[in-house]
């Protein structure tokens, strides 16, 4: 069902975009929204906010993505989820002269005790929906009990400035979002999940190399950001390259100290990658005759996350 977006709806929507999420491109887009596409599948409702004259929305794809979402919320069928999908074209991109913030990197947020999920970029939205829903899975999400000791140890080991946002829980959520997203792609397109995982590992290595090279340009080569990029890209990359070993130490719920130890233990390869002068390949993937490749300055977390 399609409805008109009145100013009351727009104002109410805007109230959620405060602090780090007060991103100019997104706020400007919200002001241009004319329509909302509503769809409900079982306990999951989606509201796609868009501009009728300027944006094209693929309804079939939205239905497919909601059915995926339903599968991953299997154990919380009594909970209603409302996904607010703001279809803005705002891109996730590197900034070379200014510090990287939520404006460059983040795509969504949710409140673990509430029902609403907000996603404010079109880019990567199929995977971001999985990521946000996983924050509601108590066996996977452990965001309520972060250990400062583990965080400080990681910051010292990787030379990360104390004012940086670093949430290890996001590494685990993003890793599971990646695995689940790839398993849907593998099933729907009849592809080998190991091959998909391998290409995503290559993509993660490429993005990590770019981040490390950027870190080299920072004062005292110390990393600093306001958007948790080490957790989303670098720690996840370390785990992806050692995925078999990782599952031998993983538990439900996970043990944060064990994950921290694992990342530090396997960080040598990262330090080798940092020394590497030659840029790793920016991988591409052909699917249904269409070539997928992210622009080199993209800060998307995955290559295949739009499928
Ligand atoms: Zn998250």
pLDDT, tens digit, 9 for 90 and up, residues 236-294: 999 999 999 999 999 999 999 999 999 999 999 899 999 999 999 999 999 999 999 99
CA of 12 to the centre of ligand 1 (A): 23
Diameter of the chain measured on Cα atoms: 55
CA of 216 to the centre of ligand 1 (A): 27
More confident: 147 or 303: 303
pLDDT band at 113 (very low <50, low <70, confident <90, very high): confident
Q: Residue 143: what pLDDT? A: 83
Q: Could you report the per-residue pLDDT of 74-97, keeping only the tens digit for each?
A: 777 789 999 999 999 999 999 888
Name the percent of the chain lying above pLDDT 90.
Answer: 87
The domain limits of the chain are: 2-292
Give the dihedral of Cα atoms 198, 199, 204, 206; nearest 10 deg: 120
For residue 247, count CB atoms less than 10 angstroms from its CB and return exposed for 0-12, middle for 13-18, buried for 19 or more: exposed
CA of 109 to the centre of ligand 1 (A): 7
CA of 142 to the centre of ligand 1 (A): 11
CA of 130 to the centre of ligand 1 (A): 10
**CA–CA separation, 39 vs 42, rounded Å?**
10
Q: Residue 210: what pLDDT? A: 97
CA of 232 to the centre of ligand 1 (A): 9
Name the percent of the chain lying above pLDDT 70.
Answer: 100
* pLDDT over threshold 90, residue 159: yes
**What value does the mean pLDDT take over residues 117-146?**
93
Angle between helices 193-216 and 168-189 (to 10 degrees): 140
Give the closest residue to 163 by CA, choosing from 216, 212, 222: 222
The answer to whether the beta carbons of residues 80 and 45 sit under 8 Å apart is: yes
> The whole model's pTM is what?
0.96
The answer to whether the beta carbons of residues 33 and 49 sit under 8 Å apart is: yes
CA of 131 to the centre of ligand 1 (A): 6
Q: Residue 83: what pLDDT? A: 97
Cis peptide before 253 (omega within 30 of 0): yes
The answer to whether the beta carbons of residues 62 and 180 sit under 8 Å apart is: no
**CA–CA separation, 307 vs 284, rounded Å?**
14
Q: Residue 240: what pLDDT? A: 98
Q: Residue 125: what pLDDT? A: 98
CA of 119 to the centre of ligand 1 (A): 11
pLDDT band at 197 (very low <50, low <70, confident <90, very high): very high
CA of 275 to the centre of ligand 1 (A): 30
Q: Which helix (H) or strand (E) holds 46?
A: strand 44-50
Buried b (16+ CB within 10 A) or exposed e, 177-216: bbbbbbbbbbeeeeeeeeebbebbbbbbbbbbbbbbebbe
**CA–CA separation, 122 vs 143, rounded Å?**
26
Q: Could you report the per-residue pLDDT of 278-298, keeping only the tens digit for each?
A: 999 999 999 999 999 999 999
Q: Which helix (H) or strand (E) holds 62?
A: helix 59-72
């Amino acid at each position: 069902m399609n409805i008109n977006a009145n100013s009351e709806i727009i104002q109410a929507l805007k109230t959620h975009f405060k602090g780090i999420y007060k991103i100019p491109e997104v706020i400007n887009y919200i002001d241009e929204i004319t329509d909302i596409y509503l769809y409900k599948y079982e306990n999951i409702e989606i509201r796609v906010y868009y501009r009728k004259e300027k944006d094209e929305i693929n309804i079939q794809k939205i239905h497919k993505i909601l059915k995926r979402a339903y599968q991953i919320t299997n154990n919380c069928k009594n909970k209603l989820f409302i996904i607010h999908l703001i279809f803005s074209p705002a891109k996730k991109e590197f900034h070379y002269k200014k510090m990287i913030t939520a404006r460059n990197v983040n795509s969504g947020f949710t409140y673990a005790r509430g029902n609403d999920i907000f996603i404010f970029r079109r880019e990567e939205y199929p995977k971001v929906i999985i990521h946000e829903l996983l924050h509601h899975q108590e066996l996977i999400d452990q965001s309520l009990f972060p250990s400062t000791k583990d965080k400080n140890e990681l910051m010292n080991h990787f030379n990360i400035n104390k004012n940086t946002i670093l949430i290890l829980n996001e590494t685990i959520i993003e890793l599971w979002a990646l695995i689940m997203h790839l398993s849907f792609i593998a099933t729907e397109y009849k592809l080998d999940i190991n091959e998909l995982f391998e290409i995503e590992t290559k993509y993660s290595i490429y993005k990590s190399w770019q981040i490390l090279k950027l870190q080299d340009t920072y004062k005292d080569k110390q990393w600093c950001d306001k958007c948790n990029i080490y957790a989303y890209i670098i720690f996840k990359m370390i785990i992806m390259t050692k995925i078999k070993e990782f599952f031998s130490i993983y538990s439900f719920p996970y043990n944060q100290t064990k994950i921290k130890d694992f990342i530090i233990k396997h960080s040598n390869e990262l330090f080798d990658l940092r020394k590497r002068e030659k840029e790793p390949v920016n991988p591409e993937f052909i699917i249904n005759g269409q070539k997928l490749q992210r622009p080199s300055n993209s800060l998307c977390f995955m290559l295949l996350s739009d499928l």
